[in-house]
Amino acid sequence: MLDASDKKLKLPNSLRKLPAPWGKRKFSELDQDLRHELETKQIDVFVISELVDADEVRDLFIRLQSGTALTRQQIRDAWPGTIGPFIVGLAGKLDSTPSVTLFKQIDRRGAGGARSDEESDAYDSDRQFCAQLLCLFLARESDPLSEQSIGANDLDKVYHENTTFDVNGESANRFRTLLERTSEVFIIAFAKTTGDGKKRVKLKFRKLDVIAAFMLIQDLSRNPNFKFDRSFTQKLASHILGDREGAATGKSTSGPAIAKYYAEWRGQIIEDIGVRLDQKRLFDDTEKQIIYTRAQGKCEVCGQPVDPSEAEYDHFPVPHTLGGKTVIENARLVHSTCHPRGPVRVPLAEV
């Protein structure tokens, strides 16, 4: 077997599980059958016989030998597994246009990395941004309060660890739905800037605003009582337009920076978009006992035993601030120090 703990081997999990009797051994140390298999192994060879001119030969040499730099995303595109084709289908590649309108409206200023093939592949940065949203989505599906970073290494990890991702499964379909809902918001936001008789402008939206809108829609989708109707879409679009001059500070790939921006951004709009807070803020003693017993007295964040004197009862998976109900089905037991939003304090007045 391969050494799964060797972080230098960037292999998909599916390959790590395969036997490798030749691993970390010299050819002379292999048994006779394996040496014979390697010596007689047929290797595919591609012969390029028709080239237009010498320049084409040089271009090919540069690509294969000295290496024309690929972008980090182009390298991910070639990684084995289902994530690559899934992202390409959503965000486009070469002559294949994005199936999601959202990726045509992103402000690409400040996008880093090599751009060797930008002219031939205009969707490189769109695929990267789609991968960033998928990275956030996967992390926040298991932990809604995750401060997931979306830098290059984080995206590599998504591709490496999800080679068998079911592109027709529930998670993939849910991701598509969230992208479509986010797209609708920005389509309306764009339309609001072009009234009758006005010249259409090439309006682009900040990545942090798109990320925040996507995260909000993901959070609200956990609330079975929330309706994604035209009114919601209109109000969210208006909020995004009204905040276009606001400062979007912090590195947009940093998990803590994204979480901070999202919390402040969400707080400015949450009630305006139709989220009504449950007037019952705290769980009563009977509900606390049921929740405590259900969790077997263990914190559902760190997994350690919880002394009743240190126990708090968190609205989960739908936070109270997002319309989560104060019912045992939307609760978990946590230490006061593990409470993701800090100790619960009852406000003087509830809306």
Under the banding of pLDDT at 50, 70 and 90, the label for residue 198 is: low
Residues 113 and 243 both lie in one domain: yes
> What span, in angstroms and rounded, lies between the C-alpha atoms of 250 and 240?
18
Q: What is the pLDDT of residue 116?
A: 44
Number of structural domains in the chain:
2
- Is residue 50 one of the residues assigned to a domain? no
Domain that residue 288 falls in:
276-351
pLDDT over 50 at 351, yes or no:
no
Residues 286 and 243 both lie in one domain: no
Strand partners, 314: 332
Of residues 227 and 348, the one with the higher pLDDT is: 227
The verdict on whether omega for the bond into residue 224 sits within 30 degrees of 0, i.e. cis, is no
Q: Using CA of residue 231, residue 236, residue 240, residue 243, what is the dihedral sign?
A: positive
Instruction: Write down the mean pLDDT value for the chain.
Output: 79
- What is the per-residue burial (b if ≥16 Cβ within 10 Å, else e) of 255-281? bebbbebbeebbeebbeebebebbeee
Residues 101 and 225 both lie in one domain: yes
Domain closes at, from 240, 267, 294: 267
Helix axes 152-161, 124-142, angle to 10 degrees: 70
pLDDT over 60 at 112, yes or no:
no
- Is residue 168 one of the residues assigned to a domain? yes
Residues 235 and 294 both lie in one domain: no
- Is residue 325 one of the residues assigned to a domain? yes
- Is residue 22 one of the residues assigned to a domain? no
Q: What is the pLDDT of residue 104?
A: 73
pLDDT over 90 at 153, yes or no:
yes
Residues 140 and 248 both lie in one domain: yes
Distance of CA 3 to the CA centre of its chain: 28
- Is residue 8 one of the residues assigned to a domain? no
The one-character DSSP state at 95 is T
> What span, in angstroms and rounded, lies between the C-alpha atoms of 261 and 255?
10
Of residues 224 and 198, the one with the higher pLDDT is: 224
Sequence-distant (6+) residues with CB within 8 A of 292 are 306, 308, 311, 333
Under the banding of pLDDT at 50, 70 and 90, the label for residue 210 is: very high
DSSP string, 244-272: TTS---S-TT-HHHHHHHHHHHHHTTTTT
Residues 244 and 169 both lie in one domain: yes
Residues 84 and 221 both lie in one domain: yes
Residues 103 and 183 both lie in one domain: yes
Residue 116: exposed, middle, or buried by beta-carbon count in 10 A (0-12, 13-18, 19+)?
middle
Domain closes at, from 244, 267, 290: 267
pLDDT over 50 at 342, yes or no:
no
pLDDT over 50 at 197, yes or no:
no
What's the whole-number mean pLDDT along residues 135-158? 91
Residues 289 and 188 both lie in one domain: no
Residues 134 and 241 both lie in one domain: yes
Q: What is the pLDDT of residue 229?
A: 87
Residues 120 and 241 both lie in one domain: yes
Under the banding of pLDDT at 50, 70 and 90, the label for residue 244 is: low
| CATH number of the CATH domain containing 347 | 1.10.30
Domain closes at, from 243, 267, 291: 267
- Is residue 9 one of the residues assigned to a domain? no
Q: Residues 50-105: pLDDT tens digits? A: 766 666 666 666 666 655 677 889 889 888 889 999 999 999 888 788 888 787 76
Q: What is the pLDDT of residue 281?
A: 79
Q: What is the pLDDT of residue 158?
A: 94
- Is residue 128 one of the residues assigned to a domain? yes
Q: What is the pLDDT of residue 96?
A: 81
Task: Give residue 340's identity as a one-letter amino acid code.
Answer: P
Under the banding of pLDDT at 50, 70 and 90, the label for residue 240 is: confident
Residues 262 and 138 both lie in one domain: yes
- Is residue 347 one of the residues assigned to a domain? yes
Q: What is the pLDDT of residue 5?
A: 56
Q: What is the pLDDT of residue 203?
A: 62
